[in-house]
Structure 1
Amino acid sequence: MTASVASVLFCPVTFNLAETTRMIEVARALDPAHRAVFMGYEDDFVHLISEAGFEYHPCSPSWSAQERQRAIDFDQGKAIRSPFTRELVAARVAVERRMIRQHRAAAVVIGSNVTSMISARAEGVPLYYPVPFALTGPQVRQVRRFRFVAGQGPIAGTADRIATAAFRWVYTRAPLAPRALSAVAHANGVAPLRTVASLLEADVNLVTVMPWELDDFALPENYQRVGPIFARLGGEVPALVRTLAAAPEPLIYLGLGSSARRELALAAATQLGTLPINVLAPIRHYLEPGDVVPPNIHVTDLLPAHLLGGLVDAAVLHGGQGTVQTACATGIPFVGMGLQPEQTWNVRVCQRQGNAIAFSPQHVSKPAFLTAVRRVLDDPAYRNAATRVRDQYEREDGAAAAARIIEAALPGRN
């Protein structure tokens, strides 16, 4: 098998940590004969792309901090108003089409950068999306219960099935995609994006989950399971981590990714500060000058979390797939606080495996939160389940599987 040089354009949402690192892992797994080129609009996690040694092109128009938060709220179902104006969408599509032509990209790989759904198709370039299974069209169409309604009884079950059916219709059939996307798609000769589900579906969707996450689900032809893909940040484990790991107190990892809020970070840190533990908290990007946390909360910048196995006793996580998968791959049991339906699903999948407890972020200031943390620390069943899940993860390489699928369609591949 031989390969000629081809360019692959990566378009992550660069203020989303999980997406940016997921793209980096796939780019690393490509045959070195090919050229990986990155573009993005915001600069939050661009340094990770540069540190990984990849070519990066900053583009505009970018979003303000307020618009980024509006995009996160829209993604999490907390707001109806979208930051996608017709002017912004048209400008970004024009930039992306120019980038595709300039670099002669033979494939485009995206996160949730929805304007790429228009630009890549307008240029006739295949579009690949390494994507969590939760909240994809196939998952929403087939899931029986999303558990929007809490409770185990028949009344709660019936109410939740009704809520799930309503959500399914809204998500997969209602024309709720921002009108700007449909208008610009039409102007570029591309089929309009009308439903929420259409905003999360590329030409080839590379599902980044374990086999047991697809139990009872069937994948359409344009969906392929590749396996987990999560961040492997460069650098070594800081000396602070090893010092805390050697201390007699248990060590908790507080990981909230990039889609949480300052209020949640402070509330979780305050509560954890009341326990006789140490907490490793890479939440500095959420805090403001003057914010004070308890002395046993050790605030840091982002850490190479994939190296924390054997050093951390348990974790408190926000439920993002990358963060959850890192805990699974390192054998760390955790309390997961999903901030939106996809993240809640990620945590519940692990709860069924026995290595996690699902908890509502709305109740983080209540005593039940600390009870959940003590359970994952003290009950050996969670540690045993985490070890079993870690052993299963060792047989997976989602980034390599995704790269092979992309390469198979590149020009010159025989």
Structure 2
Amino acid sequence: MATVVFCPVTFNLAETTRMIEVARALDDSHRAVFMGYEHDFVQLIADAGFEYRACEPAWSAAERKQALDFDQGRALRSPFTRDLVSARVDVERRIIRETDAAAVVIGSNITSLISARAEGVPLFYPVPFALTGPQVAQTRRMHFVQGRGWLARTADRVATTAFRWVYTRAPVAPRAFASVAEANGVPPLRTVASMLEADENLLTVMPWELDGYDLPDGYRRVGPIFARLDAPMPPIVDDLAAASEPLVYLGLGSSADRRLALAAAAQLGTLPVNVVAPIGHYLEPGDEVPPNVHVTGLLPAHLLGGLVDAAVLHGGQGTVQTACATGIPFVGLGLQPEQVWNVEVCVGRGNALRVPPKHVGRPEFIDAVRRVLTDPGIREAATGVQEVFAGQDGPSAAARLIEARISS
């Protein structure tokens, strides 16, 4: 038996559920131990039956917002102070030693890049291809500028070139990652790309997302990994699915905000549809949504196929892959470059449309929702993507690679 330590960012829903799916796929002879700093989605780990170790120091609400703004390119400052990074590395190294871990599996918990390497333990990262080093280095257009015309393409290439330099070459990583890494005897993290690369990077994508790319050593495709929550479907979803009006799913994950949640709900309220919206974690007391928008807690979204006619999604890989696997056409917003890429991949397959989040209050958003509800070509494409997804098992592929490494 070997112990595998999982360290997701536990206020990120997609990361937490991705780690749970991989842990479930491990052979029963292995022990999975989870650790994390924040508490938002820890209950999902407990519900799945895994051991969890709550760690400190955790971020305050302000620090978490700062981290999210930094991740999404809205801010240059980060909450990664030297004291915090050093303290977390110490905690993680201690857990690795206490559990005699044979491997560490992470989401975007950057301090694990230091702690696992300092302990000489192989580090695995199930990760979307978008914003990895090879994807940024080889991509001509990151879709920062929307549009298909010559001017938009040219502007996007210029923006992509600038982004590529900053991402892969500029020493813009918070200084704490260099100094703490050196103090722990491992190579410093100086670029953004270096903060997102493990020993084994397990790409949670479909084959067509890698067309035209060359993967360096340490990168392998495993396939989609998305949440399969162990929770019953609320009766209201079945009731709404049985109504005469189309049913739209509004899924904004854990990286949106109250403003966007309210704006999207308000716009969907103008359509002759019903909406099921697990956005309660964004709303404050006194917030009101239209009567056709039904706010719920987290849903087992992998069971929405056949119940929901279309979706509006923030663009996180988990929500996008769930829509693909269930044959649901969607409008994707894309709140940061990785999410934009996820949506654009589906736009290329024909099962989605993209609307920038700043345009949710404009007619193009409603027009896009109408199209994914009624356009037979989009619905046919969604069915075709669903059929291909049915042959994928990303969690098992990831688990087998981890087991092969720890048994060698």
**Is TM more than 0.5 here?**
yes
Question: Which residue in 1 is equivalent to 2:230?
Answer: 234
Q: Taking structure 1 as reference, are residues 331 and 153 closer, same or farther at Cα in structure 2, changes over 3 Å only? A: closer
Report how far residue 155 of structure 1 moved. Answer: 3.2
SS in 1 for 2:52: strand
Residue type of the alignment partner of 1:337: L
Runs of 4+ in 1 over 6 A off after TM superposition: none
Identity score, percent:
73
C-alpha distance in 2 between matches for 1:156 and 1:391: 33
2:174 to 174, 178, 184: 178
Alignment of 1:164-313 (within 5 A): 164-313=160-309
Alignment of 1:133-144 (within 5 A): 133-144=129-140
Q: Deviations over 1:131-157 (max 9, x none)?
A: 000000000000011122333333332
Q: Deviations over 1:21-79 (max 9, x none)?
A: 00000000000000000000000000000000000000000001111111111111111
C-alpha distance in 2 between matches for 1:64 and 1:370: 37
Question: Which residue in 2 is equivalent to 1:363?
Answer: 359
Question: Which residue in 1 is equivalent to 2:79?
Answer: 83
SS in 2 for 1:375: helix
Residue type of the alignment partner of 2:171: P
Question: Which residue in 2 is equivalent to 1:41?
Answer: 37
SS in 1 for 2:65: helix
TM-score (norm 2): 0.99
C-alpha distance in 1 between matches for 2:115 and 2:404: 22
1:351 to 343, 347, 357: 347
2:127 to 121, 131, 155: 131
SS in 2 for 1:280: strand
Report how far residue 293 of structure 1 moved. Answer: 0.4
SS in 2 for 1:342: helix
Residue type of the alignment partner of 1:311: L
Report how far residue 238 of structure 1 moved. Answer: 1.4
Report how far residue 235 of structure 1 moved. Answer: 1.7
Report how far residue 376 of structure 1 moved. Answer: 0.2
1:28 to 3, 16, 24: 24
Report how far residue 367 of structure 1 moved. Answer: 1.2
SS in 1 for 2:270: coil
1:61 to 57, 60, 63: 57
Question: Which residue in 1 is equivalent to 2:323?
Answer: 327
Report how far residue 382 of structure 1 moved. Answer: 1.2
CA RMSD of aligned residues (A): 0.8
Residue type of the alignment partner of 2:8: P
Gaps of 5+ in 1: none
SS in 1 for 2:299: coil
SS in 2 for 1:43: coil
Contact 2:130/2:136, CA 8 A, preserved across alignment: yes
C-alpha distance in 1 between matches for 2:220 and 2:149: 36
Number of positions where the alignment pairs a residue of Structure 1 with one of Structure 2? 408
Contact 2:143/2:340, CA 8 A, preserved across alignment: no
C-alpha distance in 2 between matches for 1:322 and 1:151: 25
TM-score (norm 1): 0.98
C-alpha distance in 1 between matches for 2:148 and 2:311: 27
C-alpha distance in 1 between matches for 2:154 and 2:379: 34
